Amino acid sequence: MIIVLKPHSTPEQIQHVLERIEALGFMPHVSQGVARTIIGVIGDEDQLRAEPLQAIDGVETVLPILKPFKLASREFHQADTVVEVKGIRIGGGHLAMIAGPCAIEGEAILMEIAEQVQKAGANILRGGAFKPRTSPYSFQGMGEDGLKILKATGERFGMPVVTEVMDPRQIDLVVRYTDMIQIGARNMQNFDLLKEIGRTRTPVLLKRGLSATVKDLLMSAEYVLSQGNRQVILCERGVKSFEDSTRNMLDLASVPNVKAQSHLPMIVDPSHATGRRDLIPAMALASVAAGADGVHIEVHSCPEQARSDGPQALLPDQYARLMDQIRPLAELLGRKIDVCEGVSV
């Protein structure tokens, strides 16, 4: 349920409404605009409807939210949410250009890749320290040593860094070294993990599950939001289908679909979606054209020696050419790409 307060409500009126909601045993979530304040109330809507909430001083109207995801919905927050990751804005017309290797393999190689993607225009560096692999015998990542390398590399090139968390026990460690937490497709419905990450205030990149619907994705985001972390970015990375010439099926319709229902930023990962280097540039451009708030691309300077997902990694010069194509498209669409120094181009 949404409680819409009267224009320019006083702090005392807002506080009184919050106290009244809590006294009734419900959880309030405040969204403040320039002139209006909206309070989302989480709880049994049948019970809420029985309460005379509209009689509270400062309340203009009380509206039910029909969607099962409350805090992620457009009803709760009409304007696009902009998430800021160490000065880089994502959403509301700002594009995240996330690039880097699938896995952190060593300091020298990560430094080399970071230097080249940053020069090409990437504004967030990715790299996996903990790798969820299909086979238990595959490379599982460098763990904390990898996190230390990622942090040092990001600091050297002035780039925020993102890496995946697979287990609630890893959260404190990952938060210590990174600027954004990634929740991978396999963990999209790991609800205990989502709740724990929701208790942090670190930006979260939530990837769509392999067989998840758009509603499933938004409900998973709701778990994070309900714990107080409002800095959630969604990611389309392809879903399973009968087609076997690509790794997954890239559901580009999910971008405008999600953005019509939710205020949260949404980016696209064409690397995992296609699994093919030759398809990534076209799908990255199509993603921006579809309204995505950024693209997440794997880049490696020597894919044939990569310890994870080499076939779907662009070479640095291929990534640079793609960025040269994305910039004019972004400009045509009225979008901005923040560079690491905080200047928009």
Burial class (CB in 10 A: 0-12, 13-18, 19+), 54: exposed
Between the CA of residue 278 and those of 145, 271, 313, 314, what are the distances in Å?
Answer: 32, 10, 10, 9
Do residues 51 and 94 share a domain? no
Gap between the Cα atoms of 180 and 27, Å rounded: 26
Sign of CA dihedral 341, 179, 323, 345: negative
Give the pair of three-digit tokens for residue 235: 């990611």
Q: Kindly tell me if the per-residue pLDDT of 177 is higher than 80.
A: yes
Does 75 fall in a domain?
A: no
Q: How many domains does the chain divide into?
A: 2
DSSP 277-345: GGGHHHHHHHHHHTT-SEEEEEB-S-GGG-SS-GGGPBPHHHHHHHHHHHHHHHHHTT-EEB-TTS-B-
Partners of 211 in the β-ladder: none
Task: Verify that 36 and 91 share a domain, yes or no.
Answer: no
In this structure, is residue 56 part of a structural domain?
Answer: yes
SS3 78: coil
The answer on 121 and 55 residing in a single domain is: no
Question: Rounded CA gap, 311 and 274, in Å?
Answer: 10
Same domain, 193 and 316: yes
- Is residue 78 in some structural domain? no
**Domain around 50:** 2-63
Q: 214-226 and 191-198 are packed helices; what angle lies between their axes, rounded to 10 degrees? A: 40
Q: How large a percentage of the chain has pLDDT more than 70? A: 95
Q: Over the stretch 257-313, which tens digit does the pLDDT of each residue have?
A: 999 999 999 999 999 999 999 999 999 999 999 999 999 999 998 877 777 777 889
pLDDT at position 342 over 50: no
Task: Please check whether residues 117 and 253 belong to one and the same domain.
Answer: yes
For position 275, which CATH number holds?
Answer: 3.20.20.70
| Residue 73, beta-bridge partner list | 262
pLDDT digit string, tens, across residues 225-244: 999 999 999 999 999 999 99
pTM for the full model?
0.88
**How do residues 126-147 score in pLDDT, each as one tens digit?**
999 986 656 665 666 788 999 9
- Contact 340/88 with Cβ under 8 angstroms? yes
Same domain, 29 and 120: no
181 domain-assigned: yes
247 occurs within a structural domain: yes
57 and 183 both lie in a single domain: no
pLDDT digits (tens, 9 = 90+) for 60-97: 998 887 788 999 999 888 899 999 999 999 999 999 99
Distances (CA, A) of 231 to 13, 139, 144, 204, 206: 27, 31, 24, 6, 10
Q: Is residue 73 part of a domain?
A: no
- Co-location of 122 and 260 in the same domain: yes
Listed range (28-32, 47-51, 58-62, 250-254) with the worst mean pLDDT: 47-51
Residue 77 maps to a domain: no
Same domain, 178 and 323: yes
Q: At what angle do helices 107-120 and 144-157 cross, to 10 degrees?
A: 40
- One domain for residues 16 and 153: no
* 22, 119: one domain: no
| Whether 137 and 235 share a structural domain | yes
Q: Is residue 345 part of a domain?
A: no
278 Cβ contact partners less than 8 Å away, ≥ 6 residues apart: none
Q: Residue 39: which H helix or E strand, with range?
A: strand 37-42
Q: Which residue has the tokens 């990962």?
A: 269
**Looking at the chain, how many residues does it have?**
345
Tell me, what CATH number does 47's domain have?
3.30.70.1140
Extended strands (E) in 170-289:
180-183, 204-207, 232-236, 266-268
CA 79/CA 228 separation, integer angstroms: 19
